[in-house]
Structure 1
Amino acid sequence: MSASLEATRAAAGWAAVFGSGVFHGMNPAMGWLFATALGLQRGSRSALFAALPPLALGHAASVFVVTSSALAFGFLANAAHLQLALGLFLIGWGAYHHFYGHRHRLSIGMTAGFAGLALWSAATATLHGAGLMLIPALMPICAGAGAVPGGPFGSAVAATLVHTAVASVTSAAIAFAAYEYVGLGILRRGWINFDWLWSAALIIAGALLLALR
């Protein structure tokens, strides 16, 4: 593969890392809805913003564990076979989430502390397949031109940090706007169905893995 093509694919990978951060941050299931509800319940902006760091930490932990595990398997398995398996798995997980994901909602009380919020966020991100979505983006990044110091795992750390930072900023902006201006009624009046979009994104990510074999 030429250096220019590698660079183009790596740039596309980083764009996907950034874009998925915006997408994850917009999804109410990834935390902004919880932060807003907590702030409204306690009547405090401080409660809203205090909920964001543990939610970000849990999301980052889930994403890194999933992506680094995929990279570790990549070192031990044939790359083409790995892409086939991961592609099919992503498509299957997307279909499962669409038809059955609503049956596995995680509940947490409004008195949860830092650790409780972080664990809830990690579990939610894992069950939704947040880290799985980043695997197609990481593969060209780790291949060469887009890699950072530290090899593939360094790239996984960098991608996790960039993705989580973008997701957190997006979540914070939406949570603050909902708290200060529009309220949670927007979810009933005009918010898009992120469950459908999430399932579609998983299936598209799997299809990309199969197409890039």
Structure 2
Amino acid sequence: MGWPLAVSAALMDRDRRSLVKALGALAGGHFLAMAAILFPFSALLFLVAWQREIQIGAACLVIALGVYLLINRRHPRFLARVPPSRLALWSFLAAMAHGAGLMLVPIYLGICRTTATDPGHAAASDLMAGTAATAALVAILHTGAMTLAGGALAWAVYAWLGLKAVSRSWFNLDIVWALSLILVGCVSLWFATTGGH
């Protein structure tokens, strides 16, 4: 979402390094948002007996956010009040407001198949360490993919296409984002309730 801000930073400073610095700040804020959502769920996974309910609740939460974003398409006003010098903060707040971290929760819970572990929870500390490591890996991979895709787009606009190309071909992905939240939530809900059968 923040790649236009990276382009803007490079154009205002007339320096390509500003684009890279802006992408770094955006990636840092985005990673913190992913971690802020995923790590609490990794702490919940010690409740192996409640894993199915946690998965169902997370899936319903993602679906609800998707429906809300589909109905209410206004962008949060507080995002416009964050100064451009605070790109990491803006990226963190934008990712939280749009549910980017929340969308990863059902995927993360599906990766952490804790019900296959010993029912006696003999290795609870190992389980917690493993789920925290998986949460960190999911956040890192997602942030890396987001930064590469946004960075490639920002670099193309800055180096070759220019701002006129953006203004002529701009398209709003809000509906696609809301529908993708609903889709991920529904798939996760199906897996949680049927076991994928």
TM-score normalised by the chain length of structure 1: 0.76
Match of 1:60 among 10, 27, 31: 31
Match of 1:135 among 105, 130, 141: 105
Aligned equivalents of 1:150 and 1:70: distance in 2? 13
Matched, 1:75 2:46: yes
- TM-superposed CA distance for 1:117, in Å, is 1.4
Aligned equivalents of 1:188 and 1:95: distance in 2? 28
- TM-superposed CA distance for 1:189, in Å, is 2.5
Aligned equivalents of 2:147 and 2:75: distance in 1? 26
What is the correspondence of 1:164-203 to structure 2 with a 5 Å cutoff? 164-203=143-182
Number of equivalences: 178
Matched, 1:125 2:95: yes
Match of 1:109 among 83, 86, 101: 83
- TM-superposed CA distance for 1:32, in Å, is 0.7
Match of 1:210 among 168, 181, 189: 189
RMSD: 2.2
- TM-superposed CA distance for 1:35, in Å, is 0.4
Structure 1's 86 and 44: CA in aligned 2 closer, same or farther, altered over 3 A?
same
Aligned-residue sequence identity (percent) comes to: 33
Greater mean alpha carbon deviation, residues 83-92 or residues 50-59: 83-92
Matched, 1:95 2:74: no
Q: Which residue of 2 aligns with 1:46?
A: 17
Structure 1 regions of 5+ residues with no counterpart? 1-28
Structure 2 regions of 5+ residues with no counterpart? 117-126, 193-197
Q: Which residue of 2 aligns with 1:13?
A: none
TM-score normalised by the chain length of structure 2: 0.81
